[in-house]
Amino acid sequence: MTDSTADTPLFSSLALDPLILRAIEDTGYTTPTPIQAQAIPHVLAGRDLMAMAQTGTGKTAAFTLPLLQRLLPHASTSASPARHPIRALILAPTRELAMQVGESVVTYSKHVPLRSTVVYGGTDIKAQKPVLMKGLEILVATPGRLLDHVESRNLMLNQVQILILDEADRMLDMGFMPDLLRILALLPKDRQTLLFSATFSDSIKKLAQDFLRNPVTVETARVNSANETVKQTVYMVGGDDKFHALVEVIRARGVKQVLVFTRTKLSAARIARMLDKDGIAADAIHGDKTQQERIKALEAFKAGSIVALVATDVAARGLDIDHLPLVVNYELPMHAEDYVHRIGRTGRAGASGEAVSLVDEEEERKLGDIEKLLKRTFQRETIVKPAHKRLYTGHGPLKPAPAHPRKPKTDDWFNKPYEPTNPVPTTAPAPLAAKSLPATTTKPMAALFRRKSEPTE
């Protein structure tokens, strides 16, 4: 079953409680986005749901708002943990996305007596236990850390009524399928299940077929389509010139925030160091950094303390940055679908943005896969190749760098022929006179090795 709603109603017409509407008004929103307008009525009706929508279109609120409405009859001000069992479980693939969803739940539930928390890896599990033991209705978690708490007997999932899989395709791409199967086995079979994602693959459809009951499919954009409000530019550059092209793109556009994507953790760390050394304040977030380091870098980026945030696909999933003007694909992703997720960081909620891709010859095939997915052809543009031995000061045209005398590779002393310190004289010296030892000191050789007990001759 597929649903598409032509008219967009107001939040006040979506059968939401006045306390929830009050929280929505506090955020400044009055009109739901298309995904919210289509998904909320089905969730309120208790239907299982598959929702396909682009990143940045309000997917989180599309399941948070009806979730709160459905749990209101169970809201309690009692301090007893028994009155606050986990009734809703929201699974997210990354720590950043889990934190973002948790913040959304707190924002919209601030006027209702429903408890919630977020648990994820990378932090001390003991610090998360006290909150869980006090009881809560809504739990946002990453799959791995959730199973850690289950094994530690810190929580029970036998009363979960609603399961939400956010960014379900990413969970499968990251290899979470075994964890998902273990978690689903712990949940009651009589539950409501919602799948929200920017893209859906055949594996996602197979998952929905196995674990959803007659789901409603809500689709607000063409599958695997990119945001039309994002200007997409492709520059063909040589591999050795990519970093110089990145610097030129950032400085030419004069942006105060830019999100740079790389494929590997090593590349992210290296590019961040090079940008910082080149005068562009930068930091990196990737899987090898602790959660505190990642939070610190993200907060500095949002506050404007750094201009460039270099990230891998996994680390950047779930980043919610308001009015991000520029995204740069320093390296194209391995999977074409990730391109949609990357550029979805800009142009959010109808705002305009730009996505620039720096492509070398080895990435032509990946670019072709992206074009095939999006059903469009990008115009290949060129960027001015930076002249060597030039120094950009940040003001005015490029200026020649000051010449520095090169240090010779080797010392001339090592190229001279061998000259001994004490040369050998040309005439042979006179032979030394043989010295005769006193007769008394000479002994036969056999006497030197004779035992003391043996008689001498």
Residue-wise pLDDT tens digits, 422-435: 655 556 556 655 55
Domains of the chain plus CATH, in order, are 2-219 (3.40.50.300), 230-400 (3.40.50.300)
Dihedral sign from CA coordinates of 335, 341, 346, 352 = positive
Which pLDDT does position 389 carry in this prediction? 40
pLDDT above 90 as % of the chain: 48
Q: What are phi and psi of 386, to 5 degrees?
A: -65, 135
Q: Give me the pLDDT at residue 391, please.
A: 46
Residue 147 pLDDT exceeds 60: yes
Average pLDDT on 217-227 reads 65
Q: Say if residue 260's pLDDT is above 50.
A: yes
Of residues 391, 365, 368, the one with CA closest to residue 378? 368
User: 163 near 89, Cβ under 8 Å?
Assistant: yes
Partners of 122 in beta bridges: none
* Predicted confidence band of residue 445 (pLDDT cuts 50, 70, 90): low
User: Distance between CA 118 and CA 140 in Å, rounded?
Assistant: 5
Q: Enter the pTM of the model.
A: 0.66
Question: Is residue 403 pLDDT above 60, yes or no?
Answer: no
Tell me the pLDDT tens digit for each residue of 108-140.
999 999 999 999 988 899 999 999 999 999 999
8 Å CB contact between 17 and 65:
no
The 10s digit of each residue's pLDDT in 132-145 is 999 999 999 999 99
Answer whether residue 84 shows pLDDT above 90: yes
Q: No. of H helices and E strands in the chain?
A: 16, 17
90-108: burial string, b at 16+ Cβ within 10 Å, e else = bbbbbbbbbbbbbebbbeb
Residue-level pLDDT at 374: 87
Q: For residue 318, give the DSSP letter.
A: T
Residue 105 has pLDDT above 60, yes or no: yes
Read off the pLDDT of residues 358-395 as tens digits, 9 standing for 90 and up: 999 999 999 999 999 888 899 999 876 655 444 444 44
Cβ count within 10 A of residue 19: 17
What is the average per-residue pLDDT within 24-38?
Answer: 89
Percentage above 70 pLDDT, the chain: 77
